[in-house]
Every structure is written in structure tokens, then in C-alpha cells.
Amino acid sequence: MVRTLIKDVEHAVAIGTDQHRRAMLDRITTLFGDHAPHLGETELMPFEAIMLHLARSVDSASRATLAGAIADIANAPRSVVRDLAYDPDSVVAGPILARSVRLAEEDLVRIARKAGLEHLDAVSRRRILSEQITEILVTRAAIAAVRRIAGNEGARLSEAGFAFLMQRAQHDHVLRALLDLRATLPKGCLVSFPEPLSYGNGIDRDEQAIVALVAEGRIDEALVVVARVAGVTSETATQAFQRADLDRLLFLMRAADLGWGTLKHLIQVRPGRRLQPEEMRGTFEAFQALPVATARRSLGFVTTQDGAGSNAKVA
């Protein structure tokens, strides 16, 4: 069967149409995917030769389809993976750079040092990243990729990489929050920001007051400040803080346009079970995704419902 395929491939590349070559590549990719779990390195060789030959004779769209199909295959042909990873089109290279475990470290380093922002963004999506890779990315990649690395515990940080992240975080509250949440840091390194970020309109002073009150254990007074900034009653703020779920407190803090760092301080002193790092990160993502205007509309409805419920009980 393999010999027949090789002859068909040679014919397709030599005199076949683009459509014929694409169909042949689809055929061999599907065949490889079906048999990959049972193939050893020696048995991979015929597939590797055929796929590489075809991959170099088709258009970018077909190469991108191939990349997506083999990116998650643990024993994908190394030469094919490498050929796709170095493609100047990020649509082709992206799936391999983001997911393939068959791409060698030295290739990732070389690509990270020379590639453009879209390729770097793909590399930043890898589940595991070495210190050498992250050190390059945090200095070259766009802020979205840098934030992704800061929030990924599988991305190891060198002291130099961490120092650069801290420098960029001085002017980026999202990156600052992600570093504050991070559980693994280089030995001897601490997240410490001497100056608070300014949010404008005096809110930074309110946030400093809330954090200071929480640190002193004066939670009720901190909630009074939250209530004043949010424009709700102290009772509403206290109820949000004391609820078993975090939804009401999250909406309250977002409606007040208070920062994640302030919310995190309140979460950490709530009674009951402490959140695990994964849960805290999920809460942070939900907080970032919630528009302030939406939170304000929802908070107004919830506050009205709370008041109606209290009046019903009194009556």
C-alpha cells in the first residue's frame, strides 16, 4: 500500500493538478491520523517522506489544514512539523507553534528570536514553555502574549524574564494582577510594586484606603468605602461580601470600577474556603470580561430585588 501511495504521490507532484495534490495530501493525512497511535519511529518514515513531499507542493490553505490536523499528534513526523513551523504564514505555523510537542526546543528558540508578532503569539499559547523561550517572548511579544505567559504556571520564568515582566507590569494593571496571582516565581523573587497604578478620578485613593483597611482587619469599614464608591448601601456591600458565591461581590466591584487587586484582597479575607489558584484565575478572567456598564445595570437590578425582598419580609 505504501509503495502504491509513493508512486501516486510522485505522479501527483510531477504532473498532477493542484486539486489532485491537495486531495492526495488529505488522503495521506487521514491515513496517518488513523494509524499514528500504533506507529513507531521506523514505521513513521514512509509517511514522513510522503507528507513532506506533498506539503511542499500545495498552497498555504492546504498546509494550514495539515498543520491543524497533526499539531496534536504526539508522534507526528518531525520533518513535516519543522517545515510547517518555519512557514512565514502564521496561519500555517500557528497550530504547530502553539501545540506540537514534536517541535524541538532549538527550533522554538530560533523562531522566537526572529519571527513576527503573530508567530510569537502562537508560541506563547504553548502549555509548557522553558525559561529560555519565555525570556525571549517577554521582551519581543505583544502585551496579550506577555499576559498569557504571566498567567501560565507551565511557562517557567528566569530571573531576567521575571524582572522584565515586573517592569512592564508597572504600567499594566492586568499584567500586574496576573503576576500577583502567580504561584511559581524564580527563587528569591517576589511580586512587589512600590507605586499603585492610578485609575483617575480619585479612585486610586479609595482603593488604597480599602486595601489598607482590609490589611488591618477592618473589613466593615472597607466595605463602607466600597459601598460609597459603588453608590449602594453598606448593607448591600456587606451582603455581597458574605454570600457563598462571588457573583454579587464581583458585580459590585466591577460596577464601582474598582480594580482586580482590590477585589482579590477582599476575596482573600472572606469567611469560608480559600480559593485555589485555578479558581482565582477563573474569577480574574470573569472580572476582566465583565464590562463596567453591564455590571452597573445588573447591580441596579439586583439591588432593587434585594430591597423588594427585604420589604416583603418586613411586611
> Which of 203 and 289 is assigned the larger pLDDT?
289
Among 5-9, 96-100, 221-225, the least confident range: 5-9
125-154: pLDDT as tens digits: 999 999 999 999 999 999 989 989 998 889
**Is the four-CA dihedral 275, 279, 285, 289 of positive or negative sign?**
negative
Q: Please state, in angstroms and as integers, the Cα–Cα distance from residue 312 to each residue in 248, 298, 306, 307, 308, following that order.
A: 21, 21, 10, 9, 6
User: Would you kindly state where each structural domain of the chain is located, as residue ranges?
Assistant: 1-100, 104-195, 203-314
Model pLDDT, residue 146: 93
**How far apart (Å, rounded) are the C-alpha atoms in residues 18 and 42?**
30
Of 78, 91, 87, which Cα lies nearest the Cα of 41? 78
Q: Do 51 and 67 contact (CB within 8 A), yes or no?
A: no
DSSP 188-225: T-----SSPPP-STTHHHHHHHHHHHHHTT-HHHHHHH
64-117: pLDDT as tens digits: 999 999 999 999 999 999 999 999 999 999 999 999 999 999 999 999 999 999
Amino acid at 126: R
- 127, burial (CB in 10 Å: exposed 0-12, middle 13-18, buried 19+): exposed
Tell me: pLDDT of 23 over 90. Answer: no
Model pLDDT, residue 73: 95
Tell me: pLDDT of 171 over 70. Answer: yes
Beta bridge partners of 129: 155
User: Residue 287: how many CA atoms within 13 Å on its side-chain side?
Assistant: 27
Tell me: pLDDT of 5 over 70. Answer: no
Average pLDDT over residues 177-201: 73
Average pLDDT over residues 270-276: 83
For residue 182, what is the DSSP state?
A: -
Model pLDDT, residue 89: 97
Tell me: pLDDT of 243 over 80. Answer: yes
pTM, rounded to two decimals: 0.67
Model pLDDT, residue 205: 77
